[in-house]
Structure 1
Amino acid sequence: MTYAIETRALTKRYGRHTALDGMDLAVETGSVFGMIGPNGAGKTTAMRLLLDIIRPTSGDATVLGESPRAGGAALRRRIGFLPGELMLEGRVTGRALLAHYADISGPVPAGRIDELAERLGLDLTRHVRKLSKGNKQKLGLVQAFMHEPPLLVLDEPTSGLDPLVQQEFLTMVREAQHKGQTVFLSSHVLSEIQTAADHVAVLRNGKIVKVGDVATLRASAVRRVVVDLTDVSADSIRNTLEALPQLNDLTVMDGDIVHITGTVEGHIDALVKAIAPFHVVDLRVEEQDLESSVINLYSSEANNDN
């Protein structure tokens, strides 16, 4: 087994503040690996260390078989990078800017830039400074993908993109993996990570608290459910649902339609089977924001340590 990224006790401190604390990570070549966590968890710091934008306080890393520092510009040309805070300005068109990046990154297949721009709905004739945040993000994606590098490092890649473009981005990720490229991405969008990634690392306060495959992450996710039923009494359905260990924060409001809300940890199969005998007017399953889901993972981890 080969690894596109390996880190050993990778640490970055700023004075008394530890931004990344002893990260041990191995990203298999040809995989899609996701990092999730709230702001300040250490995701961006980890990516900047891998690209030698900043230097570690201690520990070390290997990227595509080389030290980020020793690999220098030659190594960075083998990486497609999209920063989390993309700053694009200038009185040049998107096409001209991408041509400049192509001179830096290396050969770009003929027609590749136009193909990616068309897929993302990006007008390359417009001046960069006049582009919206979403269109600047599209431009950043094109420059990361266009030279088909062995490794893609993407920090919050769908920020500012509309849902249809997000889906196209996920298709691009799957295509890259099919070509043997490795994709290392971070996101606040739990469903995006679940769709795109093979394995996931969860960060908290600069530390990895959980690493696992996507199925494991999905099983520990917390979702809000809303159910409307008729032809059932509130007391009857309350007694039925209170017996489900996965269902928490249960609220049952009586009326012509019995309105039920709660949160489900893990799979919803038991809930669906419990309400199946009744007349279901509406059922909504809403994924909670990533921070809430991660807090649940943190709590589980803390309980395991006690």
Structure 2
Amino acid sequence: MSVLETKNLKKHFGKVKALDGVDIEVKEGEVFGFIGPNGAGKSTTLRVLLGMLKATAGEATIFGKDAWSDAVELHKRIAYVPGDVNLWPNLTGGEVIDLFVKLRGGKRSARREELIRRFQLDPAKKCRTYSKGNRQKVALVAAFSSEADLYILDEPTSGLDPLMERVFQECVMEAKEEGKSVLLSSHILSEVERLCDRVAIIRDGRIIESGSLADLRHLTRTQLLLQTKQPVPDLGEQSGVHHLEEKDGALVFQVDTEKLDDVMRYVSGFGIVKIESTPPTLEDLFMRHYEGVEG
């Protein structure tokens, strides 16, 4: 069942097409990754979904309701964490968390205390004294303390150290286990890879790839390190082989996944002594799209 959906979503600022026909769908109990470089349209899409911006054209629905006209009602079921949190400087972190929970109709709970402990946050300090990382913690504790059905997270771990990133990842997986849905916009590809069921890549306001990680990996290349008893002639001429170079007596190259079987059959005739394979990552896919690596 779809929790969130956009169809041919467009947003123009004058002549600038910030969004040019974005189609995404987040299902119930799913963690959906939304990735792309700065200026690609990630935050604009999220602002349309949150009812902060009105779309120029297309549809944006959450729980079957219009993201713009039903925004107030929808926000009762949504928790949002931006990448740069601004808080009231004279309130303490604990007061801000309580305010956010109360605005959503909830009460202080044991969950709040548990999250404060896990994120190692001092809730008694004034927000003006907090570092960027601590401001993020306040927003994350407030979000995960709520009984939201959908979490919209825009670069939520910005400013967090690796230990706190791990706590965040645990919270996302706990929300998923409870049947909640998560839309995660992040540039930390290892985080997306670890957490997300499906991913959409946005570039210049358009979705250029979407699907499960298994779906997308067929587009990436496997890195191989190879040592053989005999020299391998014409390896660089084989279909699907890219970026061949020699390092410390071994051949290092990339192979298109769909050609891996053919390449392995070819090199096996020269007496394989050692072979190391590095599986393709989301980073590889990302780089191929954004650094113009072709062929």
Q: Which runs of 5+ in 1 are unaligned?
A: none
Report if aligned partners of 1:155, 1:187 keep a CA contact under 8 Å in 2.
yes
Alignment of 1:252 onto 2:262: no
Residue pair 1:38, 1:290 contacting (<8 A) in 2 also: no
Determine if the alignment matches structure 1 residue 159 to structure 2 residue 154: no
Give the equivalent residue in structure 1 for 2:196: 197
Contact 1:189 1:290 in 2 (8 A): no
- Residue 289 (structure 2) aligned to one of 287, 294, 298: 294
Match runs of 1:251-270 below 5 Å:
251-253=245-247, 257-258=248-249, 261-263=252-254, 265-266=256-257
Q: Normalising by structure 2, report the TM-score.
A: 0.83
When residues 293 and 138 of structure 1 are mapped into structure 2, their CA distance, relative to the original with a 3 A threshold, is farther
Alignment deviations for residues 49-103 of structure 1 (CA, whole Å, 9 cap, x no partner): 0011111111221112211222232311210001133223503221111112122
Deviation at 1:262, TM superposition (A): 4.3
> 1:242 Cα deviation (Å)?
3.8
Unaligned runs of 5+ in 2: none
Matched ranges for 1:144-293 at <5 A: 144-221=143-220, 236=231, 239=233, 242=236, 245-253=239-247, 257-258=248-249, 261-263=252-254, 265-266=256-257, 277-278=272-273, 288=283, 291-293=286-288
Counterparts in 2 of 1:162 and 1:19: CA distance versus 1, 3 Å = same
Matched, 1:102 2:101: yes
Letter of the 2:249 partner, please give it: V
1:38 partner SS = coil
Higher mean C-alpha displacement, 213-222 vs 23-32: 213-222
- Opposite residue 278 of structure 1, the aligned amino acid is V
Q: Structure 1 residues 90, 194: closer, same or farther in 2, change over 3 A?
A: same
Question: Whole-Å Cα distance in 2 between the matches of residues 161 and 290 of structure 1?
Answer: 25
State how far apart, in whole Å, the 2-side matches of 1:20 and 1:12 are.
Answer: 5
Structure 1 residues 277 and 289: alpha-carbon distance in aligned structure 2, compared to 1, 3 A threshold: closer
Q: Is 1:135 the equivalent of 2:134?
A: yes
Normalising to structure 1: TM-score of the pair? 0.81
Residue number in structure 2 paired with 1:49: 48
Separation (CA, whole Å) in 2 of partners of 1:221 and 1:46 = 26
Q: For 1:9 and 1:286, how far apart are their aligned partners in 2?
A: 31
SS in 1 for 2:65: coil
Name the counterpart of 2:72.
73
For 1:240 and 1:118, locate their aligned partners in 2 and report how far apart those are by CA, in whole Å. Answer: 60
SS at match of 2:68: helix
The offset of 1:119, in angstroms, is 1.8
C-alpha change, 1:299 and 1:240, in structure 2 (3 Å) is: closer
**8 Å CA contact retained: 2:220, 2:280:** no
SS in 1 for 2:139: helix
Q: Distance in 2 between matches of 1:93 and 1:119?
A: 18
In the alignment, the residues of structure 2 paired with residue 214 and residue 279 of structure 1 have an alpha-carbon distance, to the nearest angstrom, of 29
Contact 1:198 1:214 in 2 (8 A): yes
Query: Identical aligned pairs, as a percentage?
Result: 34
CA contact (8 A) 1:221 1:265 kept: yes
CA contact (8 A) 2:209 2:216 kept: no
Describe the shift of the 1:250–1:61 C-alpha distance in structure 2 as closer, same or farther (beyond 3 A): same
CA distance in 1, matches of 2:223, 2:107: 45
- Tell me the SS of whatever aligns to 2:122: coil
1-structure distance, mates of 2:254, 2:134: 36
Report SS of the residue matched to 1:69. coil
For residues 186 and 194 of structure 1, do their structure 2 counterparts lie closer, same or farther at Cα, with a shift above 3 Å needed? same
